[in-house]
Amino acid sequence: MTTTTAPESQPFQAEVAELLNLMVHSVYSETDIFLRELISNASDACDKLRYEAISTPELIADGAPPKIRIAPDKKANTLSVVDSGIGMDRQELIDNLGTIARSGTKSFLSRLTEAKDGANLIGQFGVGFYAAFMVAERIVVTSRRAGSDQVFVWSSSGGSGFEIAQAGDEDAARVTRGTEIVLHLKKEAAKYLETYEIERVVRAWSDNIQFPIELVPEEGEPRQINSASALWQRPKSELKPEDYKQAYQQVAGAFDEPAMTLHYRAEGRQSYAVLLFVPSTKPFDLFDQARKGKVKLYVRRVFIADDADLLPAYLRFIRGVIDSEDLPLNISREMLQNNPQLAQIRKAVTGRVISELESLGEKEPEAFAKIWDAFGPVIKEGIWEDFERREKLLALSRFTTTKGEKRSLKQYVEDLKPNQTDIYYLTGESVERLKSNPKLESATARGIEVLLLTDPVDAFWTSAPLDFGGKPLKSLSQGDIDFGLMPLLDEKAEDKQDEAGADEATTIALIKDALGERVSDVRASQRLTSSASCLVAGGGAQDRMLERLLAMQNKGPTTKPILEINMRHPLVAAIAGDKDAARDLSFLLLEQAQILDGELPEDPAAFANRLNQLVLRGIAKG
């Protein structure tokens, strides 16, 4: 290789250097990933060329359709992957091969370090080019951007940096458009120079890539080794589960199997083909703040965009392809957001996805349960965001309740107690903590089922006015609760409810005087049966869990809670009977309620001192 200018050395971004170190010094069982990822990148480059050539036809002046070539060379111990796609200029080589410009990189690297087999993680995260360093001791990339006179050479041995230079005449003449990647293989990777091994990998992982993949053997004529068919355009009757699995892994860049597949063709006012997959494992960017979808838009088999927001953000975990027959080929990315035809496709496909998930939940509850475990928190974002489909998304949702796991609201409503008019829920940080929350006591004593909501998103969607089947959803930590019309399960407990407790007016007055402005009100509780106190939000205030989450992000003011007290509890009764200890006991009621809600007392040292004094006072009296 000759170059016309001296190579310029540049360091890798710190995360790339760390990643390469892992690649070079770790041995993953799925080393085949490197070839699949290089072919996938080559396919993307060919897609981009076809898209740009719609508005700039001279980019394909030679008239030759894009393709991918794989050429082994045993003598030189190299494997070349060459595409005639869009190519890269000097800055694109630096940006694309020297940095990982995406969020979550640190998390990915830590997961990769811990994983026994990182192939699936690499595929999910989209850093496939670097996987080539698992099999190559040196990589040389020569690229010419379509329409450019300049050719550049990027090279690296997987150390701390790379070199880049303008290509010499020989390289420039060889690469007329696109990118050539030459891997100088390690000794243990020599098997990838065998034609049968290359064909095996391509058949397994890249058979449905949309462009011809040619194997260029050292002897004989080049031959195409993939089917290069748009699988989503083929009838379902022709396809097998294995075909869908391969298509999913290629489209999603994943190694798991799809948990659900949706393949159909829409005809009528608009014609389009749909092939969508629900993964069985969470993608790394599931909770990325951008919340971008990953369904690819094609128009008559020509790739247009992979970020066209073809599904709402709460379905961003879905992967696949939508191929329209009616959209204009030259549609710009700016026009995608406001195109009425695309809006109709979005609406129809979203409805179909939700219907398919509903059907799966009814017919194959175990399969749906796995999807819900992985993506339930994301789907529930739609209850807040998608008013039109709110009822359907509520029906789709599954909840952990005081009766069990994976309960639907339909099951909840079917099991309502006599005279029960509301669906009750409680939000918190964990199921275990919620099960021991005092606010559950009165509901539990009556056998009333309560939804135990522990995902952060639960605090948000429950803040909307919701009902299911005409039954409003009501928080046990907000507003008034009246279970008076629903009898206790234990008749003896019913008798205890009628027993006189502490003097209500006197006790409440003493507690209010002691706590002052720390609470907005003190009142007798309908929620408690055995605990002494709990904190709730007023009917017009935000749920306490939501308020805490917003306060952590400095996005909302905090309001004073209401302290509810159990008038039949000995600790509450002691307040009116022991005026000397009334102040300390009042604070103890507040602070233990805070602790049970997962909060710290306002002054932990004062709390500890107060508790010690009360204990010592009790010991002295004893």
Cα dihedral 188, 193, 199, 201 sign: positive
**Is 126 annotated in some ligand binding site?**
yes
**DSSP H/E element including 377:** helix 365-379
- The full DSSP string for 275-321 is EEEE-SS--TTTT-TT---EEEEEETTEEEES-S--S-GGGTT-EEE
**Is 96 annotated in some ligand binding site?**
yes
Dist. CA 149–CA 153, nearest whole Å: 14
**Is 85 annotated in some ligand binding site?**
no
Between 570-577 and 582-596, two packed helices, what is the crossing angle to 10 degrees? 160
Residue 328: helix, strand or coil by DSSP? coil
**Is 104 annotated in some ligand binding site?**
yes
Q: How far is CA 191 from CA 78, 158, 199, in A?
A: 11, 21, 12
Contact indicator for 22, 185 with CB cutoff of 8 Å: no
**Is 338 annotated in some ligand binding site?**
no
Dist. CA 89–CA 520, nearest whole Å: 65
Residue appearing with tokens 């298509």: 247
Residue 195: helix, strand or coil by DSSP? helix
**Is 124 annotated in some ligand binding site?**
yes
**Is 501 annotated in some ligand binding site?**
no
In the chain, the N- to C-terminal Cα span, in Å, equals 94
**Is 26 annotated in some ligand binding site?**
no
Contact indicator for 253, 128 with CB cutoff of 8 Å: yes
**Is 478 annotated in some ligand binding site?**
no
The residues near 191 (Cβ < 8 Å, ≥ 6 apart) are 197
Cα dihedral 516, 476, 488, 431 sign: negative
**Is 133 annotated in some ligand binding site?**
no
**Is 41 annotated in some ligand binding site?**
yes
Between 582-596 and 604-621, two packed helices, what is the crossing angle to 10 degrees? 120
Residue 260: helix, strand or coil by DSSP? strand
- The full DSSP string for 548-615 is HHHHHTT-S---PPEEEE-TTSHHHHHHHH-TTTHHHHHHHHHHHHHHHTT---SSHHHHHHHHHHHH
Question: How would you class 342 by CB atoms within 10 Å of its CB: exposed for 0-12, middle for 13-18, buried for 19 or more?
Answer: buried
Dist. CA 242–CA 204, nearest whole Å: 10
Dist. CA 320–CA 525, nearest whole Å: 53
Mark the binding-site residues, compressed into ranges.
37, 41, 83, 88, 96, 103-104, 124-129, 179, 333
Mark the binding-site residues for ATP, compressed into ranges.
37, 41, 83, 88, 96, 103-104, 124-129, 179, 333
